[in-house]
């Protein structure tokens, strides 16, 4: 069987999220699309077609077993157009159900924790709460499974006075502190989450550890949201939300959408993001009120420019705190990307 991951005609709305990772690498509910395909179709040949040779080189470095697209006939084609952020936010339940189907061990984790013995509380059916035996849940946590299942991964820690509503996935070694999480959320591995989060997708290694509201948003990897940083996800006139990305205007078709936040972006304490704000890769923002499109490698405020060497130094230092490294081929790619986007 031949499967094609087609990223060649990338929708402009995905560019801020996909400058460092392709859509098939996103950790959604503990499993990437690539992992799903490899489990569903063992032995299948997987091909990739990227938006440009530089990005293809990055992908083939990470996944040597993936093949360059050719003229072969493909049994199935998976396009990035099927992964629009505002559409994914409406599919959290089905994403989690896929995880339960593909990861059989979750069925065994339902009975490991007993609410009365552990001191936490369950609203809804207990059978829809799945807690890995190596996760830690403190007394005083409230789980609400009324609207969907909740999955808590290996090594996750949920501190007292947190309210978690399903459907919800919390990734490996992620820490939830004094948080209110509602409306259907997917949270990746090694994240730090606090404050209020509603119907959002947060990828791996991202911090939103303090008070502040994140709503109906898609947040990429290695993002840091400072204390009290807040996204607006609804216009005062309840109008349809349109995103400005470069020279493109994207109509989301929905009245509720917050922000797209690209990888390596940092928002300082108290940054307020207007409805539909887009932060491209490696933005470091201090200005208190932001709207529209924030270009890649923005420093302090729109119009400022992050210095390349300072960005790379900061990135390596931040990644080291999670026990991760920036590979040489990734640094080479980021250097080329910086040149292409800031000329």
Question: Average pLDDT in the 94-109 region?
Answer: 89
Q: What is the mean pLDDT of residues 261-285?
A: 96
Whether a cis peptide bond, with omega within 30° of 0, leads into 167 is: yes
Same domain flag for 56 and 135: no
Residues 159, 195, single domain; the answer is yes
Specify if 92 maps to a domain: no
- Whether residues 199 and 278 fall in one domain: yes
Q: Single out the residue of 26, 30, 27, 207 nearest to residue 132, CA to CA.
A: 30
Note the pLDDT tens digit of each residue in 17-50: 999 999 999 999 999 999 999 999 999 999 999 9
Q: Mean pLDDT over all residues of the chain?
A: 93
**Same domain flag for 140 and 212:** yes
Is 327 among the domain residues?
no
CA distances from 200 to 15, 115, 151, 213, 295 (A): 18, 27, 16, 11, 22
Q: Are residues 139 and 243 in the same domain?
A: yes
Instruction: Look at residue 57 in the predicted model and tell me its pLDDT.
Output: 96
Domain membership of residue 24 as a residue range: 2-83
Predicted confidence (pLDDT) per residue in 114-138, tens digit: 665 678 999 999 999 999 999 999 9
Of 83, 118, 133, the domain-final residue: 83
Q: Are residue 189 and residue 133 in the same domain, yes or no? A: yes
Whether the predicted pLDDT of 190 surpasses 60:
yes
Same domain as 270, residue 229:
yes
Picking from 51, 83, 115, the residue at the C-terminal end of a domain is 83
Structure tokens at 328: 């040489």
State whether 214 and 251 are in the same domain: yes
> Phi, psi at residue 242, to the nearest 5°?
-115, 140
In a domain, 310, yes or no: no
pLDDT exceeds 80 at position 113: no
Are residues 148 and 285 both part of a single domain?
yes
pLDDT over 60 at 56, yes or no = yes
Is 307 domain-assigned?
A: no
Going by pLDDT thresholds of 50, 70 and 90, the confidence category of residue 268 is: very high
- What per-residue confidence (pLDDT) applies to 78? 96
How many domains does the chain fold into? 2
Give the Cα separation of 202 and 185 in Å (integer): 8
In a domain, 239, yes or no: yes
**SS3 readout for 33-48:** HHHHHHHHCCCCEEEE
The pLDDT value given to residue 112:
60
171: domain CATH number is: 2.160.10.10
231-245 pLDDT, tens digit per residue, is 999 999 999 999 999
Residues in the chain: 343
In a domain, 333, yes or no: no
The per-residue pLDDT for 282 is 95
Q: Are residues 11 and 57 in the same domain?
A: yes
Q: Is residue 40 part of a domain?
A: yes
Question: How far is it, in rounded angstroms, from Cα 246 to Cα 140?
Answer: 46
Asked, for residue 331, whether it belongs to a domain, the answer is: no
Token pair for 23:
């859509």
pLDDT at 104: 82
Q: Both 35 and 148 in a single domain? A: no
Per-residue pLDDT, 119: 87
Q: Please give the residue that has the higher pLDDT: either 71 or 273.
A: 273
Statement to judge: residues 111 and 53 lie in one domain: no
Q: Is 207 exposed, middle or buried (0-12, 13-18, 19+ CB in 10 A)?
A: buried
| 311 three-state secondary structure | helix
């Amino acid at each position: 069987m031949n499967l094609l991951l087609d990223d060649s005609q990338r929708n402009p709305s995905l560019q801020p999220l996909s400058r460092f990772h392709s859509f098939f690498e996103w950790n959604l509910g503990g499993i990437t699309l690539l992992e799903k395909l490899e489990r569903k179709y063992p032995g299948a040949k997987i091909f990739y077609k990227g938006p440009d040779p530089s990005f293809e080189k990055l992908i083939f470095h990470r996944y040597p077993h993936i093949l360059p697209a050719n003229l072969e006939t493909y049994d199935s084609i998976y396009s990035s157009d099927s992964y629009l952020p505002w559409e994914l936010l409406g599919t959290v339940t089905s994403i989690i159900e896929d995880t339960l189907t593909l990861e059989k061990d979750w069925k065994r984790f339902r009975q490991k924790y007993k609410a009365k013995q552990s001191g936490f509380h369950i609203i809804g059916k207990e059978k829809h709460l799945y807690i890995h035996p190596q996760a830690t849940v403190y007394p005083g946590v409230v789980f609400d499974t009324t609207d969907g299942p909740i999955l808590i991964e290996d090594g996750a820690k949920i501190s007292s006075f947190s309210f978690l509503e399903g459907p919800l996935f919390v990734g490996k070694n992620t820490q939830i502190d004094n948080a209110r999480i509602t409306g259907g959320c997917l949270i990746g591995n090694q994240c730090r989450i606090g404050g209020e989060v509603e119907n959002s997708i947060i990828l791996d290694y991202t911090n939103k550890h303090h008070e502040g509201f994140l709503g109906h948003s898609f947040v990429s990897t290695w993002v840091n949201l400072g204390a009290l940083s807040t996204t607006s996800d609804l216009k005062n006139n309840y109008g349809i939300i349109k995103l400005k990305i470069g020279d493109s205007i994207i109509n989301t078709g929905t009245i509720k959408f917050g922000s797209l936040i690209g990888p390596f972006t940092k928002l300082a304490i108290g940054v307020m993001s207007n409805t539909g704000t887009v932060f491209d890769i490696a933005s470091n923002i201090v200005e208190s009120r932001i709207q529209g499109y924030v270009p890649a490698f923005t420093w302090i405020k729109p119009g400022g420019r992050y210095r390349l060497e300072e960005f790379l130094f900061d990135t390596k230092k931040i990644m080291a705190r999670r026990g991760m490294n920036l590979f040489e081929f990734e640094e080479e790619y980021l250097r080329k990307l910086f040149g292409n986007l800031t000329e």
